Chain A
């Protein structure tokens, strides 16, 4: 009897200890893991919403989703993917990797780090709970233009506003933490211009976050007061202007899309040299190109608003400034290709995902250039062509980037190699499915199929069927990915400290799996790699 009770108590205190460990942890590796788990979970939820959308669009007519519900799915899918999947995914990678890559024992502000993370489950819980509210979830698209979200928004819009505020606070605090860490905790000898590119791109991303997330917070606050406190920021009746909503939103929105891709650029710049067994070509130009992209991203927002009745000078300004961004972007793509040139390349899964990233992201960049042309945009705006564009930059861009990073560093995190055969199957099905899903959208968009509408005319049926089949396959590949990750966590071939023959950098000097505490004394830099054929990143 007594023994049994003791066992229960022991069991319970074990459980409590387990909960407390994750709830109260200030360890950057734990917090990185938490971020990645959250991101992965929301990836499945937002992905399920995408399945509803594609199922509905499989055929013309209204089959499964009423228009209202369809709009809610489109909105929640977009919001969750942007704010809940890609952003926390990259922050998770930053938490794991930045201290390891700069030789720091932890993040500079570990308790703040814990707080930043634990806001998020509540923010997204709140956002998801709107699905069950009277009047339904937000239905105005992830861009929540006024007056759709002010005058006509459902009651749940207020929960959406609170969710955005919480998420914004988390991002800003997380970004501050990353900057302070990078500025103060680099191991002696690692000057700014010797930092790995993943760290560089994250530093710049963190500044973008601090500059634009508060603008988003200001915007939703204005919405809130317009809705409830009699202000008319966006209501023409009271002297406000709904077009101003779009200006403020896109002033946030365009830098935001670079927040979603810059860390991906950093990941590609880590992985390509490893598997090409060559130094990164043009390190300095990579850093400056990233900076140029970040600065330019503040002066191009008008390309989302060409059809709002801008005067020609405004259109010309935004057209040229947008096209200018293609130049530093082109520099980066050139450098990646030049790194591979005459390298002794091998094609392990992280490299495959990175190559998919480089090629398919570039296609997305090209469709972006087409959209930047004012006369062309008048036709393409609000069609599926835009949907094709941003899915090409975000799926094979941001998501492939995260997946490449996970395959690349998973052996370091878990101490086990993932199953290479399954990884390759994952890549090839994903790359086929991505193109099957999103390429036909270019055609249906050019032919005039509008976005965010539950039904479509008959002539778009074939394109949509192909897209939906591709989407189904793409959904299945994620289950394979989940299986691979779990399998790797639970066991597998032991990984060496360096993991990859051509890997270089401080993170590869610690054993795999990385111990809970690393670099309590700053390590020497440049790093002493395990075997001596090291090719320093930059000298």
Chain B
């Protein structure tokens, strides 16, 4: 009898730790998911960190040209005007290009925004390298203020053959005041 009880106790504890482990697994998806997406290009998630500009000086530009289209979206509740200054560019692979986006704060108070990039087709995301991008930092605009925000990028030579057109799309989100403060303090 006591032996069964000991067994039961052990199994109970084992199974309970399995449950606790699975709870942790849900959280493990949080760091794993972006890494997985970035490595595989799943989800069109585009890097929010700067690519290395040195890398480009080491590759010869190829003759292949593709079209890159620029899109701008503002999320719900974001009072900014936001658009690309050029709609699309014809670009050669391996060469550096620059373009910019225009924003204006239409609200009567200052607002902080964060742009999040996304590339279509998703698997092409890892071939598009942004050397400089307004999405690397938050933007802070006073009421009525406007600005042009630069993007410098190149597309690497090994972009798969079938891709003729890429879309680089940004969605601009309003950063809640609480988060602006928190991010600011965590940067110190």
Q: Distance (Å) between the CB of B52 and the closest chain A CB?
A: 21
**Interface core residue of A239, A311, A314 (most chain B CB under 10 Å):** A311
Query: Chain A's nearest CB lies how many Å from the CB of B176?
Result: 8
For residue A189, CB closer than 8 A to chain B, the reply is: no
Residues B23 and A217 in contact, CB atoms below 8 Å apart: yes
Residues of A236-254 at the interface with B, using a CB-CB cut-off of 8 Å, are 236-239, 241, 243-244, 247-248, 251
Which of chain B's residues have a CB closer than 8 A to the CB of A213?
A: 19, 22
Given A184-B7, A314-B42, check contact A214 B19 (CB 8 Å): yes
Q: A243 near B116 (CB under 8 angstroms)?
A: no
Q: How many A-B residue pairs have CB under 8 A?
A: 109
Chain A residues within 8 Å of B45, by CB:
241
Any A CB within 8 A of the CB of B79? no
Q: B150 in the interface, Cβ–Cβ < 8 Å? A: no
Partner of B40 from the list A211, A230, A311 (CB cut-off 8 Å) is: A311
Chain B count of residues within 8 A CB distance of the other chain: 45
Q: Nearest residue in A to B173 (C-beta to C-beta)?
A: A237
Q: Say whether A310 faces chain B, with CB atoms less than 8 Å apart.
A: yes
Contacts of A215 in B (CB 8 A): 22-23, 25-26
Partner-binding segment picked from A175-183, A354-362, A448-456: A175-183
- In the assembled complex, A484 has its CB within 8 A of some CB on chain B: no
CB distance from B114 to the nearest CB of A (A): 5
A238 to B30, CA, bound (A): 13
Which residues B9-46 have CB closer than 8 A to chain A?
A: 11-12, 15-16, 18-27, 29-30, 33-34, 37, 40-45
Binds A, one of B59-67, B101-109, B118-126: B118-126
In the bound assembly, the distance between CA atoms of A230 and B178 in angstroms comes to 7
Distance between Cα atoms of A215 and B19 in the complex (Å): 9
* B114: A residues at CB distance < 8 A: 237-238
Residues of A within 8 A of B20 (CB): 214
Give Cα A244–Cα B38 distance, bound, in whole angstroms. Answer: 13
Min CB distance A217 to B, Å, is 6
A377 to B71, CA, bound (A): 27
Grouping DSSP codes into helix (H, G, I), strand (E, B) and loop, the B interface class, with mixed when no group exceeds half, is: helix
A210 partner, pick from B18, B43, B121, beta carbons under 8 A = B18
A214 touches B23 (CB 8 A): yes
Contact across chains for A230 and B179 when beta carbons are under 8 A apart: yes
- How many residues on A have C-beta within 8 angstroms of the other chain's C-beta atoms? 40
Q: How far is the CA of A213 from the CA of B176 in the complex (A)?
A: 32
Give per-residue flags for A82-121: 1 if the beta carbon is below 8 A from chain B beta carbons, else 0: 0000000000000000000000000011000000000000
Min distance, Cβ B179 to any Cβ of chain A, angstroms: 6
Contact of B8 among A109, A218, A241, A243 (CB under 8 A): A109
Given the complex of chains A and B, what is the CA–CA distance between A222 and B8 in angstroms? 33
Chain B residues contacting A184 (CB-CB under 8 Å) are: 4, 7-8, 11
Q: Provided the pairs A184-B7, A237-B75, A311-B41 are in contact, do residues A176 and B171 lie with their beta carbons within 8 angstroms?
A: no
Partner of A248, one of B12, B24, B29, B176: B29
**Within 8 Å of chain B (Cβ to Cβ): is A219?**
yes
Could you tell me the distance in whole angstroms from the C-beta of B139 to the nearest C-beta in chain A? 12
Q: What is the CB-to-nearest-CB distance from A177 to chain B, in angstroms, rounded to a whole number?
A: 9
Instruction: State which residues 169-184 of B face A: CB under 8 Å.
Output: 171, 173-176, 178-179, 182
CB < 8 Å neighbour of B44 from A108, A179, A217, A309: A309
Alpha-carbon distance between A248 and B4 when the two chains are bound, in angstroms = 37
Decide if B174 touches A211 in the complex (CB within 8 Å): no
- Find out whether the CB atom of B15 lies under 8 angstroms from the CB atom of A309: no
Q: Does B48 contact A (CB under 8 A)?
A: yes
* Residue numbers in B under 8 Å from A230 (CB-CB): 176, 178-179, 182
List of B residues within 8 angstroms of A309 by Cβ: 43-44, 120, 122
Of residues 497 through 525 on chain A, the ones whose CB sits less than 8 Å from some CB of chain B are: none
Chain A residue nearest to B16 (CB atoms) is: A176
**B98 → chain A, closest Cβ, in Å?**
25
Nearest Cβ on chain A to B73's Cβ, whole angstroms: 11
What are 28 A-B contacts defined by CB distance under 8 Å?
Answer: A151-B76, A176-B16, A184-B8, A211-B18, A212-B22, A215-B23, A215-B25, A217-B26, A218-B27, A235-B173, A236-B75, A236-B116, A236-B171, A237-B75, A237-B114, A237-B174, A238-B175, A241-B33, A241-B43, A244-B29, A244-B33, A247-B29, A247-B33, A308-B43, A310-B42, A311-B40, A311-B41, A311-B121
